[in-house]
Structure formats: structure tokens, C-alpha cells
Amino acid sequence: MIVYVVGFSALAIGFALALVRAAIGPTVADRAVAADIGLYVLIGGLTLIAAMTGASQFIDVALIGTLLGFLATVALAALVGRPR
């Protein structure tokens, strides 16, 4: 049980740091990366919940979230990287 507490604590610290980066990020790219980190921290939390409870539905949601997060990252990279 202590492993889950340590895992959730690490995820909470990572999410807090992502929020700080999103708040003070000087560019749009910094904010996009912080949003990606926040999404993947939430997905990590879902997988920890799945490991704790043994419910496989959380794994399905995490897989779908990961796919959508990847597509959002590619779309944001195309928007941020294009010349103005």
C-alpha cells in the first residue's frame, strides 16, 4: 500500500509543477508541454487506481486518453511550429 501512496505523491508533485509551468510559461509551447505533462500525470493516476483496485476499465480509459493526448500533441506541434 505504501507504494501507491508514494506513486500518488510523485504524481501530485509532477502535476503541481506542470501547473506552475503552465502559469509562468512565457511561450505557447511551454504551456502546451505543461498541458501534456498534466494529461499524462492524470493517466498515470488512472493506471495506479487500476493497479490498486484491479479494475481493467481504468486501463481502457488510460489507453484512449493516451491516444487522444498524442494526437493533441501532434496538432499543437503543428500549430506552434508553423511560421507566422
Q: Quick one: pLDDT at residue 39?
A: 93
Q: If you average pLDDT over residues 69-77, what whole number do you get?
A: 88
Q: If you average pLDDT over residues 3-29, what whole number do you get?
A: 93
Residue 17: give the domain boundaries.
2-81
Measure CA 63 to chain center: 12
User: Residue 44: is its pLDDT beyond 90?
Assistant: yes
Question: The CATH number of the domain where 74 resides is what?
Answer: 1.10.287
CB atoms within 10 A of CB 49: 16
State residue 63 phi and psi, 5-degree precision.
-65, -45
User: Residue 81: is its pLDDT beyond 80?
Assistant: no
Q: Number of structural domains, the chain?
A: 1
Alpha-carbon Rg for the chain in angstroms: 15
User: Residue 63: is its pLDDT beyond 90?
Assistant: yes
Which residue is associated with the grid cell 511561450?
Answer: 27
* CB 11 within 8 Å of CB 48: yes
State residue 22 phi and psi, 5-degree precision.
-70, -30
